[in-house]
Amino acid sequence: MTARPATARPETARPEAPTTRAPGPSAPRPSAPQPHRPECGGPGRGLAPATLVVALVAMSVTAASVAVTSVTAGAAEIRVIGSNAFKTTLEELTPAFQSTSGHRLAITWGATIPLKAAIESGAGFDVTLLTMAAVDDLIRHGRLAAATRTPLASSRAGVAIRRGALRPDISTVAAFKAALLNASSIAYVEQGATGAYLKTLLPRLGIADAIAARVKLLPPEYPAARAVANGEAEIGMTQISEILPYAGAELVGPLPADIGLTMTFGGGVEARAEQGEAARALLQFLTTPAAAAALTANGLDPETAPPTAR
């Protein structure tokens, strides 16, 4: 059963960026997504103290200005199509990248499946940040340049509840099943990477039919953690990095190890990108120590470990 979330007084982690909404099975092919152009100095949050991330970003400014790109002729506008798993991290890092490179970012956020479909349908972009499975498929189909393939971080799926609610036991597969069977409502984004996995996991656990009437399948622009924070679902399941930004939501933990979902996210540059050099500079920036620290603070495990604070 699909239930649309209520819209009254919703909690938001930050101003919502335009997203690409994926169509249902009978809907037309997705249209090109419309970008959001973040301003310098946007808000950010994470598990680590904000001062640590800010300090690490500041420490890397000189190095990044050399390693990423030199601000020479003509700053570029880089069109980014990105998974919501990266949203908080990139919004935190945008001011540093823009100030050191001179380039501007125009970002479209959404869930991996509809964003990949939009790219396949001809959406214009310079660089994308998706699951590596999606990146590799787009490389095979000639939409991304293979030489720009850049793994950035791994991400785990987790369980969210409303802050202050009774925490369910999800430490084992049996406990996780019991928590879902006892929940009054369960939410996840239908066309997200986590949602695609849950559609195979729940039948495998033998509980899909038992909880079907209480499952709320959400659109990409309405994250599961937001629904939980607003009291519209008792349990939400999504990437951990998409839970942490919501003050009204609380992370219970990752899925049990035996059925856990860990995915690698990364990026690639469009094969004929208008701003290919600038797009490659962004991917390089996202491999710096400052970027690794921001990824860690927001629930992602970077490919390059962040430096130890002294």
Q: What is the pLDDT of residues 187-228, one digit of tens each?
A: 999 999 999 999 999 999 999 999 999 999 999 889 999 999
86 pLDDT above the threshold of 60: yes
Cβ contact 237:272 at 8 Å: no
**Closest-CA residue to 153 (of 17, 262, 53, 13):** 262
Q: What is the pLDDT confidence band of residue 75, given thresholds at 50, 70 and 90? A: confident
User: How far is C-alpha 38 from the geometric centre of its chain's CA atoms?
Assistant: 16
pLDDT of residue 74: 61
Q: Considering only 13-17, 73-77, 103-107, 143-147, which range has the smallest mean pLDDT?
A: 13-17
pLDDT recorded at residue 303: 86
Instruction: Walk me through the domains of the chain, giving residue ranges and CATH numbers.
Output: 50-154+263-302 (3.40.190.10), 156-262 (3.40.190.10)
- Point out the least confidently predicted range of 15-24, 163-172, 279-288: 15-24
Question: What's the predicted TM-score (pTM) here?
Answer: 0.74
Structure tokens at 146: 């293979």
pLDDT at position 56 over 90: no
Residue type, 119: I
160 residue type, one letter: A
What pLDDT score does 57 carry?
45
Structure tokens at 124: 């214009």
Percent of the chain with pLDDT over 70: 74
Q: Quick check: 106 pLDDT over 80?
A: yes
The residue count of the chain comes to: 310
Better-scored residue on pLDDT, 73 or 159: 159
Calpha distance 168→283 (Å, rounded): 39
Per-residue pLDDT of 241-299, as tens digits, reads 999 999 999 999 999 999 999 999 999 999 999 999 999 999 999 999 999 999 999 99
Contact 81, 4 (CB under 8 A): no
Nearest residue to 188 (alpha-carbon basis) of 230, 244, 226? 226
